[in-house]
Amino acid sequence: MVMTCEFLFEELAKQLETYLIETKASWLRLHFSKVFQKSFQNIKFQELQNWCNDIIVKHPEKFFGSEDFISIQVNALISVIKRDDLQMEEIKIWKRVIEWELHKIQAFHLNLKIGLMIIF
């Protein structure tokens, strides 16, 4: 029974994903940053992830230049930079990737510092 429920939820999620892409594309674009982030929090949202990546390929400057860029998850970033069809200079892409990594390192050190202060 549990397996049946899981299967039904997967099927429902796929149908919802398709529905959103086919009928609510303008809403998805309007909330692109959140949609992109959320789609990569679950590996089963492949269709939505692909849709987002296709949008990024068409408008990479908006993606790499957005304020939300430094907060994206590593798997989402990898899905974008492994594409060969980004219409943007590679040096600009890698500059932003380095900035993203520096932000992650700084956040890690800050969290470590706070954790140590709590312990001691």
Q: What is the dihedral of CA 103, 65, 73, 107, to 10 degrees?
A: 10
> Helix 46-58 crosses helix 74-81 at what angle (to 10 degrees)?
50
The per-residue pLDDT for range 31-89, each reduced to its tens digit, is 999 999 999 998 889 999 999 999 999 999 999 999 899 999 999 999 999 998 998 99
Which position has the token pair 């429920």? 5
Between residues 20 and 106, the one the model is more confident about? 20
Residue 22 scores a pLDDT above 70:
yes
Does the structure show a pLDDT above 90 at 104?
no
**pLDDT for residue 20:** 93
Query: Hey, what are 110's tokens?
Result: 């800050």
Q: Rounded to two decimals, what is the model's pTM?
A: 0.76
